[in-house]
Amino acid sequence: MPRILANYEGKADACLKALDDHDFVFVHVEASDEAGHAKDLKQKILAIEYLDSRLIARVMKGLEDRGIEVTVAVLPDHLTPVAQGNHVHGPVPVAILNPNLDPDSVQTYDEVACASGALGLLRGDGFIRAFLGR
């Protein structure tokens, strides 16, 4: 069974460093996608948990420590279900934290919960408009 790895802390630190002189930073993590291709549910769950606890939490703490208010979005680029082992078409969960907007009532991050939130199902340029607050 392959072990799916990523340098979560390194990506978080690089993100925070890039924010010193960039207005927009994009961080891509391939680990959950690779676990989906490998049809390895245990590694996919672990990759998502690590993304949350080792990357997102580190970035959020770094932003807080620096007193930086930015808009943060978390989303996959596509679905890769473990059962299929390949990319499939369908809506992906999206979470956006914008310091200028009130949060909605969604408490979990998954396809169903996110679709029922204030963002609903975004189409076309809906994501970037929501992210930019336009």
- Distance separating alpha carbons of residues 63 and 53, to the nearest angstrom: 15
Residue 125 inside a domain? The answer is yes
Three-class SS of 72-104: EEECCCCECCCCCCCCECCCCCCEEECCCCCCC
Residue 66 inside a domain? The answer is yes
Kindly report the CATH number assigned to the domain that includes residue 84: 3.40.720.10
Confidence of residue 11 (pLDDT cuts 50, 70, 90): very high
Residue 58 inside a domain? The answer is yes
Q: Which residue, among 75, 67, 97, has the nearest Cα to 26 in the 3D structure?
A: 75
Residue 3 inside a domain? The answer is no
Residue 122 inside a domain? The answer is yes
Residue 1 has a pLDDT of 54
Residue 2 inside a domain? The answer is no
Residue 133 has a pLDDT of 85
Question: Who contacts 29 (Cβ-Cβ below 8 Å, separation ≥6)?
Answer: 6, 8, 11, 47, 51, 55
Residue 127 inside a domain? The answer is yes
pLDDT in tens, 45-63: 999 999 999 999 999 999 9
Residue 16 inside a domain? The answer is yes
Domain encompassing residue 49: 8-132
Rg of the chain (C-alpha set): 15
Residue 3 has a pLDDT of 72
Q: Say how many CA atoms lie within 13 Å of 113 toward its Cβ.
A: 8
Residue 106 has a pLDDT of 93
Kindly tell me the burial class for residue 114, based on how many C-beta atoms sit within 10 Å of its own C-beta (0-12, 13-18, 19 or more).
buried
How many domains does the chain divide into? Answer: 1
pLDDT at 123 over 80: yes
